[in-house]
Amino acid sequence: MSTTIDTDPTAQTQRVALVTGGSGGIGRAVVERLAADGIAVGVHYAGNKAKAAETVAAVIGNGGRAIAVGGDVADEQAMSAAFDAVEAEFGGIDIVVNTAGIMILSPISTLNLDDLDRMHRTNVRGTFVVSQQAARRVRNGGAIINFSTSVTRTQFPTYGAYVASKAAVESITLILARELRGKDITVNAVAPGPTATALFLDGKDEATIATLSKAVPLERLGQPDDIAETVAFLAGPARWVNGQVIFTNGGLA
């Protein structure tokens, strides 16, 4: 008696994503957008397990597959465990989206250096740790998507330390794209403009928010769903976009 094994290379299995910072803001919008495309999702959280559980429940309620995984993105052991959990649940990882980040605004002359260290630990080391795990684990045909900011071009005052961390993210991303030559894995960064999330709105008065809205030719703040559309493009059909920073900002100069 013989057994026939289907080795058709076109046979499709469900793709799997891990989204860091996936419990709120842009991260949650990305989770829901990828799930809508039929992708199973690991929803990462750093401290708010309840919000991650809500996001998972929303995905499952809409017929998708998701689990929550926790951990500090800058802790290599915690992130290794998070990747392990997603692989154990869904069989592998095809897409890693690293939205986790913190933003502390201050003039360079008065920034508390402890805040600088805290921000760079999450934004730079965290991106490096997640990218390192992704480079080792993402399956051929996959995508790694990191997050920068459009302020690397606009140079707004008080953003100096934050932009420095995101410039590092861009460098990590572009070099990793070249290092993964031959593996059919794309590596890109998304650089949002002013987007209506708690991270962006915190500490800004209505006049500042209005000014930033009008700075965009479309004359509005971006929404998390706007950013999620770019991620879905890079995670799916954009197989010829690699080693790029995509400025998703409504035309902000």
Residue type at 78?
A
Tally the residues of the chain: 253
State the Cα angle at 72 between 24 and 238, rounded to 5°. 60
Residue labelled with tokens 């429940």: 57
Residues 19, 34 contacting (CB under 8 angstroms): yes
For the record, the structure tokens of 132 come out as 């390192």
In the chain, the N- to C-terminal Cα span, in Å, equals: 68
Q: Which of 90, 147, 159, 162 is catalytic?
A: 162
Determine whether 162 is an active site residue: yes
Single out the residue of 221, 108, 210, 209 nearest to residue 157, CA to CA.
108
The catalytic residue positions are 162
